[in-house]
Structure 1
Amino acid sequence: MSSFNNDFEQQYTQSKPKRSVMVYLAPVMIIVLGFVGCSGLSALAQKPEKKPSQVQLPVVDVAQLQKRDVTFTISSQGTVMPHTETSLISEVAGQITFVANKMRVGGFFQKGEVLMEIDPITYKVGVLEAQSRLDAAKATLVEEKARADQAEDEWELTGKPLSSAPVLALRLPQLQRAQADVEAAAADLQEAQLKLKRTKIIAPYDALVKAKYVDIGQYVGTGTQLVDTFAVDYAEVRLPVKQQDIGFIKLPKVNQEGDETNTVVISSQQGLRTLQWDSFISRYEGVVNDRSRVHYLVAKINDPYNLLTEDRDAELRMGMFVRASIKGKTYPDITAIPRSAIRGAGQVHLIDKDNKLKIITVDVLRSDKDYAYVRGELVDGSRVITTRLEMPIQGMELRVNSEEPDKTEATEAEVAIAKQSSSRVEQ
Structure 2
Amino acid sequence: MTSRTFSGRWAAITLAVLALAGTGCNRGGAASKKDAAAKKGDAVPVSLTAVAQRDVPLDLEVIGNIEAYSVISMRSQVSGLLQKVHFKEGDFVSKGQVLFSIDPSPFNAALREAEANLARSEAQIGQAQATLKRDIAQAKYSGQQADRYKSLQKEGIVSKEQVDQFTTAADTNSEIIRVDEAAIRSAEASLVASRAQADNARIQVGYTTIRSPIDGRTGNIAVKEGNIVSSNTIELTSINQIQPIYVTFSAPESNLAEIKKFAAEGKLQVTVLPSEGEEVTPEVGTLTFVDNNVDATTGTIKLKGTFQNAGRHLWPGAFVRVRLRLSTRKNALIVPAQAIQEGQDGQFVYIATDKMTVEQRPVKVGSRSGQDMVIDQGVEAGEKVVVEGQLRLAPGMKIRVREGRPGGPGKGGKKGGGGAPAATAAETPQGAPAADAPPSQDGSTTPGARKGRKGEHKKQ
TM over 0.5: yes
Partners of 2:188 and 2:262 in 1: CA distance: 55
Instruction: Say yes or no: does 1:279 pair with 2:296.
Output: no
Partners of 1:125 and 1:110 in 2: CA distance: 31
- 8 Å contact 1:249–1:329 — kept in the other structure? no
How far did residue 73 of structure 1 move? 3.6
- 8 Å contact 2:83–2:101 — kept in the other structure? yes
How far did residue 398 of structure 1 move? 3.5
How far did residue 383 of structure 1 move? 2.5
Partners of 1:178 and 1:200 in 2: CA distance: 34
Taking a change above 3 Å as real, the CA distance of residues 347 and 305 of structure 1, as seen in their structure-2 partners, is: closer
Per the alignment, residue 91 of structure 1 pairs with: 77
How far did residue 245 of structure 1 move? 5.3
Taking a change above 3 Å as real, the CA distance of residues 192 and 399 of structure 1, as seen in their structure-2 partners, is: same
Q: TM-score normalised to the size of structure 2?
A: 0.62
- 8 Å contact 2:77–2:231 — kept in the other structure? yes
Per the alignment, residue 457 of structure 2 pairs with: none
Taking a change above 3 Å as real, the CA distance of residues 400 and 296 of structure 1, as seen in their structure-2 partners, is: farther
Residue correspondence of structure 1 range 92-107 to structure 2 within 5 A: 92-100=78-86, 102=87, 104-107=88-91
Per the alignment, residue 299 of structure 1 pairs with: 305
Taking a change above 3 Å as real, the CA distance of residues 397 and 391 of structure 1, as seen in their structure-2 partners, is: closer
Paired residue type of 2:72: T
Q: What is the aligned-residue RMSD (CA, Å)?
A: 3.6
Taking a change above 3 Å as real, the CA distance of residues 207 and 426 of structure 1, as seen in their structure-2 partners, is: closer
Residue correspondence of structure 1 range 54-93 to structure 2 within 5 A: 56-93=42-79
3-state SS, counterpart of residue 364 of structure 1: strand
Choose the corresponding residue for 1:129, options 104, 110, 113.
113
Paired residue type of 2:79: A
Residue correspondence of structure 1 range 21-40 to structure 2 within 5 A: none
Choose the corresponding residue for 2:100, options 116, 119, 135.
116
Per the alignment, residue 379 of structure 1 pairs with: 380
Per the alignment, residue 162 of structure 2 pairs with: none
Taking a change above 3 Å as real, the CA distance of residues 290 and 274 of structure 1, as seen in their structure-2 partners, is: farther
Instruction: Say yes or no: does 1:289 pair with 2:295.
Output: yes
Gaps of 5+ in 2: 1-39, 148-173, 402-407, 411-432, 439-460
Paired residue type of 2:371: D
- 8 Å contact 1:60–1:398 — kept in the other structure? no
Gaps of 5+ in 1: 1-53, 307-314, 405-421
Residue correspondence of structure 1 range 12-411 to structure 2 within 5 A: 56-100=42-86, 102=87, 104-150=88-134, 158=143, 169=178, 171-225=180-234, 226-243=236-253, 262-269=269-276, 273-286=278-291, 287-303=293-309, 315-344=313-342, 345-353=346-354, 357-367=358-368, 370-375=371-376, 377-386=378-387, 387-388=389-390, 392-393=394-395, 396=396, 398-401=398-401, 402=408
Query: Percent identity at matched positions?
Result: 18
Taking a change above 3 Å as real, the CA distance of residues 381 and 247 of structure 1, as seen in their structure-2 partners, is: farther
How far did residue 273 of structure 1 move? 4.2
3-state SS, counterpart of residue 349 of structure 2: strand
| Number of residue-to-residue matches in the alignment | 334
Paired residue type of 1:384: V
Partners of 1:167 and 1:342 in 2: CA distance: 106
- 8 Å contact 1:277–1:301 — kept in the other structure? no
How far did residue 173 of structure 1 move? 2.6
Partners of 1:338 and 1:58 in 2: CA distance: 20
How far did residue 351 of structure 1 move? 3.6
Residue-by-residue CA offset, 1:62-89 (whole Å, 9 max, x unaligned)? 3211322111343333343322222211
How far did residue 200 of structure 1 move? 1.0
Partners of 2:216 and 2:61 in 1: CA distance: 31
Residue-by-residue CA offset, 1:124-149 (whole Å, 9 max, x unaligned)? 01111111111111222223333444
How far did residue 249 of structure 1 move? 5.4
How far did residue 188 of structure 1 move? 0.8
